[in-house]
A and B are shown apart, each in its own frame.
Chain A
Amino acid sequence: EPEVTQTPSHQVTQMGQEVILRCVPISNHLYFYWYRQILGQKVEFLVSFYNNEISEKSEIFDDQFSVERPDGSNFTLKIRSTKLEDSAMYFCASSEERRTDTQYFGPGTRLTVL
């Protein structure tokens, strides 16, 4: 069964450093998403990406964040200058077509900012 994959599984960084989280969505899916989950809190939507551009972003997704599809398979989330409060699990998800299609989640990257 096709799966969303994410690397790395755990990233530790110093405050102020840039990090790039990587995802490989399911191959025939057209919509890609990033979510985050701070420990003990709910899963929160960050951004969606369709047809090589941002389709929707939440208020969390400020200028420190960017997304890119650098090639035909990878989808990345960059945080330019990490803050302590960016420590969270970051989940990538993808869906086949329409926005309301079922979204399938990757295993997540645990980001720890020191």
Chain B
Amino acid sequence: RKEVEQDPGPFNVPEGATVAFNCTYSNSASQSFFWYRQDCRKEPKLLMSVYSSGNEDGRFTAQLNRASQYISLLIRDSKLSDSATYLCAVNEGGGADGLTFGKGTHLIIQP
């Protein structure tokens, strides 16, 4: 399995600010891309799938850049409840079933 890289942070951001983080992947054949949110010692919870055209869900926007092999997540108007670790996950295609995860980016929203 190839690598999926994320800046571990922590990102300390004031409430209401906009924050963005990227995730790079090394396997150009990767097919599917996801952002998951993980709270301390809990399971990854799907935040959003990432499509080539980009997608938005409320305050969250995800983008995919295949040429540069990265995906991004933008959070607008951040809330205290957004504090979590954000995991990037990639299905590498070629018949692979499992997701390859990054180590996650730790986000702390400060009041």
Whole-angstrom distance between the alpha carbons of A45 and B106 in the complex?
A: 21
- CB-based contact A100/B91 at 8 Å: yes
Distance from B96 Cβ to chain A, minimum over Cβ atoms (Å): 6
Q: Which of A13-21, A63-71, A73-81, A104-112 contacts B (4 or more CB under 8 A)?
A: A104-112
Asked, given contacts A100-B31, A102-B46, A102-B49, whether A41 binds B103 with beta carbons under 8 Å apart, the answer is yes
Residues of A within 8 A of B97 (CB): 31, 33, 45, 48, 50, 55-56, 99
- CB-based contact B1/A58 at 8 Å: yes
Q: Which of B10-18, B37-45, B56-64 contacts A (4 or more CB under 8 A)?
A: B37-45
Chain A, interface SS category? strand
Within 8 Å by CB of A107, from B32, B42, B100, B104, lies B42
- Of all chain A residues, the one with the shortest Cβ separation from B6 is A42
| A12 within 8 A of partner (CB) | no
| A89 within 8 A of partner (CB) | yes
Binding site for A on B (CB under 8 A): 1, 31-32, 34, 36, 41-46, 49, 87, 89, 91, 93, 95-104
Binding site for B on A (CB under 8 A): 31, 33, 35, 41-48, 50, 55-56, 58, 89, 91, 99-108, 110
